[in-house]
Amino acid sequence: MTTPRPEYPRPQFVRQNWTNLNGEWDFEIDFGMSGKERRLYGDVKLKDKIIVPFCPESKLSGIEYKDFMNCVWYKKAVFITDDQLSDAKRTILHIGACDYETEVWVNARPAGKHVGGYVSFSFDITDFLHAGENVITICAEDRTRGNRPRGKQSSRYYSGGCDYTRTTGIWQTVWLETLPASYIAYTKYTTDIDRGMLFIEAECVNSHGKTLTAEAFFGGKKVGADTVSVKGNIAKLIVKLDELHLWSISEPNLYDLKLTLDDDTVDSYFGMREIVYADYKTYINRKLVFQRLILDQGFYPDGIYTAPTDGELIADIRRSMDMGFNGARLHQKIFEPRFLYHCDRLGYIVWGEQASWGINDSGDSSWQAFLPEWLEALRRDVNHPAIIGWCPLNETSNGQNRTFIKHIYHMTKNFDNTRPVIDTSGYVHVTDDQVDTRNYNGSADTLKKFLDECDPKHFVTDIIDCHNYDGNPESLKKYFEECNPALSFNSEYGGIWWQPENLTSDAWGYGDRPKSEDEFIARFKGITEAMLFNPKVSAFCYTQLTDIEQEVNGLYYYDRKPKFDPKKIHAIVSQKAAIEEI
């Protein structure tokens, strides 16, 4: 059979010697969570078959089981050569994402554990292998109703409102890499456009005293290089560029980067750009950018969390751009690296967000359930130039643990001080006070009074955002006219939705349904212009790109067919904003 999702899953850290393990695996749902007692990791045949990397809830997996699955098991035989087992090589098992608590056995021997449902992780399995056939077993426990980040996965049997079908177990590519004994494990890039420099922090394995070289290329021409010795497991390089080609929305220039450590070679890329948030506005390379964003939740009818093809990742970006949007809030899901890669090369700006729904943000246990995976997400995705800001949390409440929220903000800023950070999008921001900036009714009086009494300088967050779903253009316009300038980013708006009569019996959306497509376009035009033409507003995010199951807020149906002529939406969204006149 053809291997599903055959492309290399990590475009910013590419090696040539790899084996894609997607395709058919043995599979079993462990309803009683007794698999370990029954030694399913040993010489026991599992009951079913599944197509990886699609979750068992999805049609593409071949399972399509929609009820709760607290535990699932996978098993696959892989062939390992004598050459791969030589003393000079290591074999690494990579899992793009597996929801939620993952254990791996190789030939019935425990090889590693990972907690978290959204980020990539790996294990060195060399010591558990032998020449010939080897069996990899993966167990995933995923109690969605527990205190853990689940995003928009429904905690009830049925999908409802803005919660949708769950994703259990593996949902991104699984692959093997054969590496030399000394290899590059991780890199972090920081760009300086004033001095035309790329700073690289590299973590290397078994490499003390060895030489690491970085070579930068643009258009095939070598434009900079640096070579250093690894100290312990760390190397720091400074690549001075002979030519400066900035990355921007209009010109998403990318440099190729080659990293070499003895026999290990990594092909990477980077973008030279600077993001500054000042005076309630966002600047990329000192040029003001109005953020015309759309909410993208990354769900697919046949793959749930997983796009059926790499082409569909690209197509969703194109669909958004075709309607005039220049970026997205990637909402309640950590998107796969290949999506971010396509954002990088297409000049499509995005906010990185964790799937924070599901944690108890008022209790101490929220720290353990949230922080480790969020730091893993920052480490994995920090080098993508298209990411222009971080938003770890969404819609936290007055009862939240304020110390927890502050710690997340400061941890994020300490790891990456090159981007703005919103501590929690919508509702309550944490500083010395708690600031609720969400308004569904379009009435600004209470919010105006509160913000007028607060000094914006006291806000911990870089950006103050709000959610507003009032579908009335006049009240929305009044809302922004009366708001404090600190409220510059309306991170969710809408309040109107469209679908033909009786298309979906359980249809749900914000606000109400216009009587016709023409009425929808007129109202969409009004609420969008209320923000575009207000000099206090520098960013908005429309809810949303596509319908998802019963939710019908999309500008596209769930099958990605447009509800309206994209040119009509593009003409509205792409109008010059008031701040762009300044």
CA angle in degrees (0–180, nearest 5) for 192-274-483:
150
In a domain, 539, yes or no: yes
Q: Which of 75, 213, 68 is nearest to 143 (CA)?
A: 68
Contact 286, 252 (CB under 8 A): no
In a domain, 504, yes or no: yes
Residue 503, token pair as written in the block: 């298309």
Last residue of a domain, one of 129, 158, 180: 180
In a domain, 281, yes or no: no
Residues 25 and 144 in one domain: yes
**pLDDT tier for residue 251 given thresholds of 50, 70 and 90:** very high
Residues 224 and 297 in one domain: no
User: Is it the case that residue 445 has pLDDT exceeding 60?
Assistant: no
In a domain, 81, yes or no: yes
Residues 368 and 417 in one domain: yes
Contact 319, 564 (CB under 8 A): no
Residues 79 and 166 in one domain: yes
CA angle in degrees (0–180, nearest 5) for 418-327-283:
40
Residues 132 and 203 in one domain: no
Identify the pLDDT of residue 505. 67
Identify the pLDDT of residue 81. 93
Indicate the number of domains in the chain. Answer: 3
**pLDDT tier for residue 71 given thresholds of 50, 70 and 90:** very high
User: Is it the case that residue 450 has pLDDT exceeding 70?
Assistant: no
> How many C-alpha atoms does 553 have within 13 Å on its Cβ side?
22
Residues 307 and 163 in one domain: no
Last residue of a domain, one of 146, 162, 180: 180
Residues 354 and 489 in one domain: yes
Identify the pLDDT of residue 434. 26
Residues 535-582 pLDDT 10s: 888 999 999 999 999 999 999 999 999 999 999 999 999 999 999 976
Residues 444 and 557 in one domain: yes
Residues 209 and 239 in one domain: yes
Residues 92 and 157 in one domain: yes
In a domain, 13, yes or no: no
Q: Once rounded to an integer, what is the mean pLDDT over residues 208-222?
A: 98
Residues 48 and 72 in one domain: yes
Mean pLDDT of all residues belonging to the chain: 90
Residues 456-482 pLDDT 10s: 444 445 666 777 777 788 887 777 777
In a domain, 8, yes or no: no
For residue 108, what is the domain's CATH number?
Answer: 2.60.120.260
Identify the pLDDT of residue 512. 83
Residues in the chain: 582
Give the span between the Cα atoms of 340 and 452, in whole angstroms.
38
Q: Once rounded to an integer, what is the mean pLDDT over residues 260-279?
A: 96
Identify the pLDDT of residue 363. 74
Residue 53: cis peptide before it, omega within 30 degrees of 0 = yes
Range of the domain at 377: 290-581
Identify the pLDDT of residue 502. 60
Q: Once rounded to an integer, what is the mean pLDDT over residues 350-359?
A: 94
For residue 234, what is the domain's CATH number?
Answer: 2.60.40.10
Burial of 372 (0-12, 13-18, 19+ CB in 10 A): middle
Last residue of a domain, one of 180, 204, 227: 180
Residues 67 and 54 in one domain: yes
**pLDDT tier for residue 144 given thresholds of 50, 70 and 90:** confident
What DSSP line would sit under 119-164, residue for residue? S-EEEE-GGG--SEEEEEEEEEE--TTSSS--TTB-SSSS-BTTBB
Q: Once rounded to an integer, what is the mean pLDDT over residues 314-342?
A: 98
Give the span between the Cα atoms of 531 and 494, in whole angstroms.
12
In a domain, 559, yes or no: yes
In a domain, 508, yes or no: yes
**Least-confidence region, from 7-11, 301-305, 503-507, 518-522:** 503-507
User: Is it the case that residue 364 has pLDDT exceeding 80?
Assistant: no
Q: Once rounded to an integer, what is the mean pLDDT over residues 400-410?
A: 88
For residue 375, what is the domain's CATH number?
Answer: 3.20.20.80
pTM, to two decimals? 0.94
In percent, how much of the chain has pLDDT > 70?
92
